[in-house]
């Protein structure tokens, strides 16, 4: 049986995004957006998985290490869980531009998640804050919600081919 999934971008959806060209490197720079707690709880109650998909090019640029990122993600998951918002998984791309097939908007992270969890992409939802997220959703046939400052500002459903 295929499962439904709430895919979430990280920066700008789960936490306040860093200023353009900067990176969230440590937990003390991480600012949880309160709305995401409700979104995750709601979708989990409806039987969805909750999976984060995040580009983390700062690793390729030497801004922080994979160990730093994993530590930050462990703290993020614990903070969300303490508020009743359970994440099932986190996928991240540590690569530079054009170095892989997993950097959004390319579909690598979605394909990994789909294989691991048996996800029905068309019955899922991707929440993101930018054009890379929208393009990823479009390419993978996933309905999409664009958010700004914790508010859904636009939604789109993939066209039937």
Q: Is 11 a catalytic residue?
A: yes
Catalytic residue among 11, 68, 71, 89: 11
Q: Is 9 a catalytic residue?
A: yes
Catalytic residue among 9, 88, 129, 133: 9
| CA gap 151, 140 in Å, rounded | 23
Q: Which residues are catalytic?
A: 9, 11
């Amino acid at each position: 049986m295929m499962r439904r999934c709430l895919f979430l971008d990280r920066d700008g959806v789960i936490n306040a995004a860093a200023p353009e060209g900067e990176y969230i490197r440590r937990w003390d720079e991480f600012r949880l957006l309160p709305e995401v707690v409700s979104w995750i709880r709601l979708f989990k109650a409806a039987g969805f998985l909750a999976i984060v998909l995040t580009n983390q090019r700062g690793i390729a640029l030497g801004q922080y290490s994979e160990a730093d990122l994993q530590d930050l993600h462990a703290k993020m998951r614990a903070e969300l869980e303490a508020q009743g918002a359970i994440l099932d998984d986190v996928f991240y791309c540590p690569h530079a531009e054009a170095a892989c097939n997993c950097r959004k908007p390319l579909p690598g992270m979605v394909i990994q998640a789909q294989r691991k969890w048996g996800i029905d992409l068309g019955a899922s939802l991707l929440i993101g804050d930018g054009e890379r997220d929208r393009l990823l959703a479009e390419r993978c046939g996933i309905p999409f919600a664009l958010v700004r400052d914790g508010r859904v500002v636009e939604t789109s459903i993939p066209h039937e081919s």
